[in-house]
């Protein structure tokens, strides 16, 4: 059985996953698309050394930011890993806030061709120089079907769809299917729920801790790699602007908090559409998950 623990950033997924995994004497497979990268630690809120020692984790620090990685690749690797893990464990925990990657494991994700990374680099440059609206207009022309249903305010989604279109000559929507691939294991999904004001307080506090722990220095060390897709994410782009002199540090930090809250809202919307998710109180999530699973 695969126990999925999902929810917005700062809702307590790591702690809940570890407690559930320890109860079932099993392991945790990460479904957080930024915690894969070795070079990004503070800004991605990875499990700390003590947490990693408490329970074996997979897909943490497994990639370099220079590697091109997709939900399709993750699906293949995660399913192969689960096939091995279920030989030794009756239960495995899958935890994370990346809805696409959870979907990849539970339902299957569309097979996309490899795209020349230079296309993504150029699109990222266009995003920086001409803004998101410019890419949105390109997508509206290239793939009106996807434009009508996608979160067009998410620059990564817009850039990804354009990347596929420009790399293949076919619209992104033509690669998407609604078929759900049946998995050879039972899946139980849980979402962590918190009052919005509590979640936002946690997010703001977490950002303050990240800054104290060296987030600014971490981002500064990654300046030579800022064009890479892995770094086009909240917590990093705002500080890149600070180093460019576009904002001061206090403004950049406030923008990280604001954009993280917006990101959490999108996560809640995404997971809220999944009717298979059973929502639990985040403050007692592990106990409730264990209770519902036994």
Q: What is the mean pLDDT of residues 72-85?
A: 95
Q: What is the pLDDT of residues 49-69, one digit of tens each?
A: 999 999 999 999 999 999 988
Give how far Cα 169 sits from Cα of 172, 231, 242, Å: 9, 26, 37
- Predicted confidence at residue 199, as pLDDT, reads 97
Q: What is the pLDDT of residues 84-141, one digit of tens each?
A: 999 999 999 999 999 889 988 998 866 677 788 899 899 989 988 998 899 999 999 9
DSSP label of 63: B
Map out the domains of the chain with their CATH numbers. 2-110+179-293 (3.40.50.300), 117-175 (1.10.20.140)
Burial of 128 (0-12, 13-18, 19+ CB in 10 A): middle
Q: What is the pLDDT of residues 198-211, one digit of tens each?
A: 999 999 999 999 99
State the Cα–Cα distance between residues 205 and 141, nearest whole angstrom: 41
Give how far Cα 94 sits from Cα of 39, 99, 260, Å: 22, 12, 22
Q: What does 120-136 look like in DSSP terms, one character per residue?
A: HHHHHHHHHHH-HHHHH
Other CB atoms closer than 10 Å to residue 212's CB: what's the count?
10
pTM: 0.82
Query: Could you give the percent of the chain with pLDDT greater than 70?
Result: 96
- Predicted confidence at residue 287, as pLDDT, reads 96
State the Cα–Cα distance between residues 187 and 104, nearest whole angstrom: 13
State the Cα–Cα distance between residues 192 and 282, nearest whole angstrom: 5
Q: What is the CA radius of gyration of the chain?
A: 19
Decide: helix, strand or coil at residue 187.
strand
Half-sphere exposure of 166 (CA within 13 A, CB side): 18
DSSP label of 37: B
Closest C-alpha to 106, from 96, 115, 114: 96
Q: What is the pLDDT of residues 24-41, one digit of tens each?
A: 999 999 999 999 999 999
Give how far Cα 186 sits from Cα of 27, 28, 58, 106, 201, Å: 16, 16, 20, 10, 35
């Amino acid at each position: 059985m695969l126990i999925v623990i999902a929810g917005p950033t700062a809702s307590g997924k790591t702690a809940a996953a570890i407690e559930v995994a320890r109860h079932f004497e099993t392991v945790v497979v990460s479904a957080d698309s930024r915690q894969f990268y070795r070079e990004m630690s503070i800004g991605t809120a990875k499990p700390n050394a003590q947490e990693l020692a408490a329970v074996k984790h997979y897909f943490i620090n497994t990639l370099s930011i220079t590697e091109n990685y997709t939900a399709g690749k993750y699906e293949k690797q995660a399913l192969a890993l689960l096939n091995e893990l279920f030989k030794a464990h009756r239960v495995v925990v899958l935890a994370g806030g990346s809805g696409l990657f959870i979907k990849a494991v539970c339902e299957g994700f569309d097979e996309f061709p490899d795209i020349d990374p230079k296309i993504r680099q150029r699109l990222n440059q266009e995003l920086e120089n001409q803004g998101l609206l410019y890419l949105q207009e390109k997508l509206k022309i290239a793939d009106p079907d996807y434009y009508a249903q996608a979160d067009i305010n998410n620059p990564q989604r817009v850039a990804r769809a354009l990347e596929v279109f420009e790399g293949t000559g076919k619209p992104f929507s033509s690669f998407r299917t609604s078929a759900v691939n049946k998995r050879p294991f039972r899946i139980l999904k849980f979402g962590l729920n918190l009052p919005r004001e509590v979640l936002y307080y946690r997010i703001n506090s977490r950002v303050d801790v990240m800054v104290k722990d060296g987030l600014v220095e971490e981002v500064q060390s990654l300046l030579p790699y800022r064009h890479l897709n892995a770094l086009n994410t909240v917590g990093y782009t705002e500080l890149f602007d600070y180093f460019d002199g576009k904002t001061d540090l206090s403004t950049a930090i406030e923008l990280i908090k604001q954009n993280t809250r917006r990101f959490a809202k999108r996560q809640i919307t995404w997971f809220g559409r999944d009717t298979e998710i059973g929502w639990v109180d985040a403050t007692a999530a592990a106990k409730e998950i264990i209770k519902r699973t036994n």
